[in-house]
A and B are shown apart, each in its own frame.
Chain A
Amino acid sequence: MRTNRDLFTLLAARLSSLRLATVLILLLIIACAVGGVIPQSPVTPNAEAIYRSYGLFWYRLITRLQLDDVFGSAWFFVLIGTFVLNLLLCTGRRLRRSVRQVFGSTCATQLNDETSQTVAFSARRPSADLEESVRKAIRRVGFRCVNRQDSADGGVWLTGCRWRWGALGADIVHVGILIILLGALLGIFREEGSFRIDEWQTGVRLPACGDVDVSDCVPLPYDVQVNDFGVETYDQTTRVKDYWADVVLWRGEDAIERARLSVNRPLSIGGTGLYVWRYGENANGALVRLQVVDAGRDIVTTEIELRVGETVPIPGLQARVTAIRFYRSYALSEAGEPIDRGNATGGHPAVLLQVDGFAEDGEAIAYQDVAFPFLPESGAESDTAFILADAQVPSFIDLHVTRNPGYPFFWWGFILVMAGLAVAFYLRPSMLRVTIEADHLQITAQGRGGAQRAERLARDIVAILGLDSQEEVDQ
């Protein structure tokens, strides 16, 4: 009957096995490929509509298996969790072995590398002090830790090792990956948000979670002031080269940092990253100037100026007008709905107005009107009409704020993985073995540089020993 300890050992062996690692890597490949091909709903806004277009079967399959959010699904976390467990246990087991190999007093005795090269020499009968001479020769070609071992057929093996710590390469890579995954786990506590700064907000100190237009507020230990921002274009073109913002960070009365941020030039301070995120024109912050027209007499009676979202009284009338929305280029969709075609060339600016109040005859009025830069020839439903005389659309810049406690772990993980890969692939341990038999000397070398280097090492040993030999190379 198995004891609990046996079961635990068996479970640990299974969980740390290479077989499980292979299966998990395969499953990760499949999961990531599926997540890469199927539009993921958190990133693709119209993902659900896309799935519906595949048909009911596929729609149900995708949503029930959470294939619409693979990387946020419970089954993906279980997969990653099992992978981490496998890697952790495997690394623990390997590390014990590698540490013994690196710091142990004897060289490993196995020569099983594909780069091994054996050179057999027929030499004179070895003299009594040959063993000591070989030991010295092995040391002279750079190998330390020379071990002596009796071979099965009555001879002697002298084995020298170097770069033994190269055996740690794979373990260092594993530890690095574990640290990266720990960083990813800590990413659960990350905070992200963005500021929108309009032109008229430049020079104003903005608390991170104040009255400004802030989404997903990230509390910051400083206030942000954007003194200026703009866009840089390539010479004689309208192609955007970069966009930038001059930022001052305040803590109390102290300006703790002044910097020009641009794309690819963020500001990192106190564990928080500040990025220039987006640049554009904010139609919702447009300032419009309207001419009020007496439609009956076809004359302009007055002018008013208001920002989108504002309500102002109309002079001479008992009514108010609200600018609901500004269109940089007004157009009608196929369904007849007004849409803004953005900065399309040949734009037709317009503003949607809401008029409320009382007409001259005392009758209550409430209607919407669209004001263009000209007076429409027909369709006036009221005695009062509006002409869009001018519009100023302010530029904006979005600043993105991130704070992620996992970032330092990523860095250390990256460094360890690369160091481990370099060690594992380019600084592998080398081993040199000289077998002394009754009338025969055989030298086997393995490690970096492959067969050619091994052969050269063997020749160096022979030269140092000053042996008169006939060689026979075994490729």
Chain B
Amino acid sequence: MNQGVLYFDIAAIAYIVAFFGLLATRLFNRSWIRRVGTGLFVLAFAAQSVGLILRGLALGGFPVTNTYESLVFYGWVFALSFVTLIVAGVLRGRLRDTVGIGVGLLAALAMAVAGSPLRSPDIAPLVPALRSHWLALHVSLVFVGEGFFAVAFVTGVLYLFTARRDRGDRTELLTRLDILIYRAIAIGFPFFTLGGLFFGAIWAKHAWGRYWGWDPKETFMLVTWLVYVLFLHVRVQRGWHGRRTAWIAVIGFLLALFTFAGVNFLIRGLHSYA
């Protein structure tokens, strides 16, 4: 049983081509390439959405029950966050295309890792601990938060790259990037807090009888959260801008990635099945 895989394969290919399309737009500045790139991004997002719905229907639940589905969903929330910021009017013009390149690359990477032979796309029965409605709430909200952090990460990398080559005529672009980093994190942070820390804690209380147990995954979730807390404090209260906050946004998302993928492989804990 591997419902939705065809759509996920289409999405993976479309993301990769969209990435190259949007990259070519930056290099050659042709409107038709831009239209093709954007169209493919939309196609990839739509195919991924359809695949996830089919998968969810087949499962009878939220499709984040194994690493394959989690990676697909992870890639989907990257694109969702990007689309949300466009719809909200936060991302416009050339900045949208530039951030789209990075987000497209991240989504394509997530889909590529999911599609590797090491990850089985088969639907497997859930272990008892995962049979809970908290699974959907916990995982989906964490991922939505991390989707916005991914946009902040891409923007942070762009900021650092642009600032390194600053010729003095990019102040406006740098300001826009700086504000975008803040806005993406400000949107994602409440989702991450609610899903990652609070819903996770409530679920842990239901399943294991305690809210918090310093399990490595919980601990690194807290570390990631603290990094974003640091970001918000130094930016809003101490007025840090520019390179320093861009670095924190980059480090924060790398930690989020490590919490999602690295902890499971490197450190043993109660979340080993996650």
User: Residues of B contacting A400 with CB < 8 Å?
Assistant: 209
CB of A417 within 8 A of CB of B128, answer no
CA gap between A262 and B132 in the complex, in Å: 11
Q: Which residue on A lies nearest to B270, using beta carbons?
A: A43
Q: A37-B267, A425-B187 are in contact. Are A29 and B230 (CB under 8 A)?
A: yes
Q: A35-B219, A239-B125, A404-B210 are in contact. Are A264 and B226 (CB under 8 A)?
A: no
Contact with A along B13-35 (1 / 0, CB 8 A): 00000000000000000000000
Contact with B along A1-32 (1 / 0, CB 8 A): 00000000000000000100110011011001
User: Residues of A contacting B229 with CB < 8 Å?
Assistant: 25
CB of A402 within 8 A of CB of B230, answer no
**Residues 199-257 (chain B) with a chain A CB within 8 angstroms:** 201-202, 205-212, 214-216, 219-220, 222-223, 226-227, 229-230, 233-234, 237-238
Distance of B209 from chain A, by nearest CB (Å): 4
Q: Which residue on A lies nearest to B259, using beta carbons?
A: A36
CB of A35 within 8 A of CB of B214, answer yes
Stretch in A240-248, A333-341, A464-472 with 4+ CB within 8 Å of B: A240-248
Q: A28-B226, A410-B201 are in contact. Are A264 and B132 (CB under 8 A)?
A: yes
Q: Which residue on A lies nearest to B226, using beta carbons?
A: A29
**Residues 33-88 (chain A) with a chain B CB within 8 angstroms:** 33, 35-37, 39-40, 43-44, 71
Q: A21-B233, A22-B233, A33-B220 are in contact. Are A264 and B206 (CB under 8 A)?
A: yes
CB of A410 within 8 A of CB of B211, answer yes
User: Residues of A contacting B60 with CB < 8 Å?
Assistant: none
CB of A241 within 8 A of CB of B211, answer no
B137 within 8 A of A: no
User: Residues of A contacting B198 with CB < 8 Å?
Assistant: 414, 417-418
User: Residues of B contacting A402 with CB < 8 Å?
Assistant: 209-210
CB of A266 within 8 A of CB of B209, answer yes
User: Residues of B contacting A18 with CB < 8 Å?
Assistant: 233, 237-238
Choose among B127, B193, B206, B214 the residue that contacts A421 (Cβ–Cβ < 8 A).
B193
CB of A263 within 8 A of CB of B129, answer yes
User: Residues of B contacting A425 with CB < 8 Å?
Assistant: 186-187, 189-190
Distance of A118 from chain B, by nearest CB (Å): 16
User: Residues of A contacting B126 with CB < 8 Å?
Assistant: 241
User: Residues of B contacting A40 with CB < 8 Å?
Assistant: 214
Choose among B90, B186, B206, B216 the residue that contacts A36 (Cβ–Cβ < 8 A).
B216
Q: A28-B226, A71-B214 are in contact. Are A418 and B194 (CB under 8 A)?
A: yes
CB of B223 within 8 A of CB of A422, answer no
CA gap between A53 and B247 in the complex, in Å: 35
Choose among B90, B179, B201, B223 the residue that contacts A114 (Cβ–Cβ < 8 A).
B179
CA gap between A39 and B266 in the complex, in Å: 11
CB of B219 within 8 A of CB of A29, answer no
Choose among B129, B223, B237 the residue that contacts A32 (Cβ–Cβ < 8 A).
B223
CB of A25 within 8 A of CB of B226, answer yes
B89 within 8 A of A: yes
User: Residues of B contacting A264 with CB < 8 Å?
Assistant: 128-129, 131-132, 134, 206-207
A273 within 8 A of B: yes
Q: How many residues of B contact A (CB 8 A)?
A: 47
User: Residues of A contacting B208 with CB < 8 Å?
Assistant: 275
Distance of B88 from chain A, by nearest CB (Å): 9
A192 within 8 A of B: yes
CA gap between A422 and B126 in the complex, in Å: 34
Q: Which residue on B lies nearest to A29, using beta carbons?
A: B226
A237 within 8 A of B: yes
Choose among A21, A36, A234, A237 the residue that contacts B267 (Cβ–Cβ < 8 A).
A36
User: Residues of B contacting A36 with CB < 8 Å?
Assistant: 216, 219-220, 223, 263, 267
Best-buried of B90, B201, B205 by chain A (most CB within 10 Å): B205
User: Residues of A contacting B189 with CB < 8 Å?
Assistant: 421, 425
User: Residues of A contacting B187 with CB < 8 Å?
Assistant: 425
CA gap between A18 and B229 in the complex, in Å: 12
User: Residues of A contacting B223 with CB < 8 Å?
Assistant: 29, 32-33, 36
Distance of A190 from chain B, by nearest CB (Å): 8
User: Residues of B contacting A145 with CB < 8 Å?
Assistant: none
Distance of A225 from chain B, by nearest CB (Å): 20
Q: Which residue on A lies nearest to B203, using beta carbons?
A: A264
User: Residues of B contacting A265 with CB < 8 Å?
Assistant: 206
CB of B209 within 8 A of CB of A407, answer no
User: Residues of A contacting B220 with CB < 8 Å?
Assistant: 32-33, 36
User: Residues of A contacting B207 with CB < 8 Å?
Assistant: 263-264
User: Residues of B contacting A44 with CB < 8 Å?
Assistant: 268
CA gap between A37 and B223 in the complex, in Å: 12
Choose among B131, B132, B212, B230 the residue that contacts A25 (Cβ–Cβ < 8 A).
B230
User: Residues of A contacting B201 with CB < 8 Å?
Assistant: 410, 414
Q: A22-B234, A29-B227, A37-B267 are in contact. Are A240 and B127 (CB under 8 A)?
A: yes
Q: Which residue on B lies nearest to A19, using beta carbons?
A: B238
**Residues 111-136 (chain B) with a chain A CB within 8 angstroms:** 125-129, 131-132, 134
Distance of A181 from chain B, by nearest CB (Å): 11
CB of B131 within 8 A of CB of A32, answer no
Distance of A340 from chain B, by nearest CB (Å): 23
CA gap between A417 and B198 in the complex, in Å: 10
User: Residues of A contacting B206 with CB < 8 Å?
Assistant: 264-266
CA gap between A400 and B205 in the complex, in Å: 12
User: Residues of A contacting B125 with CB < 8 Å?
Assistant: 234, 237, 239, 241
Distance of B152 from chain A, by nearest CB (Å): 14
CB of A263 within 8 A of CB of B193, answer no
Q: Which residue on B lies nearest to A237, using beta carbons?
A: B125
| Sample of 11 A–B contacts (CB below 8 Å) | A25-B229, A29-B226, A37-B216, A184-B212, A192-B210, A241-B126, A241-B128, A263-B207, A264-B206, A264-B207, A273-B205
Given A192-B210, A402-B210, 16 more pairs with CB closer than 8 A: A22-B233, A22-B234, A22-B238, A25-B226, A36-B219, A39-B268, A240-B127, A240-B128, A264-B131, A264-B132, A264-B134, A264-B206, A404-B210, A414-B201, A421-B190, A452-B89
A-binding residues in B (CB < 8 A): 89-90, 125-129, 131-132, 134, 179, 182, 186-187, 189-190, 193-194, 198, 201-202, 205-212, 214-216, 219-220, 222-223, 226-227, 229-230, 233-234, 237-238, 263, 267-268
A-B pairs with lowest CB-CB distance, top 4: A36-B219, A263-B128, A264-B132, A421-B190
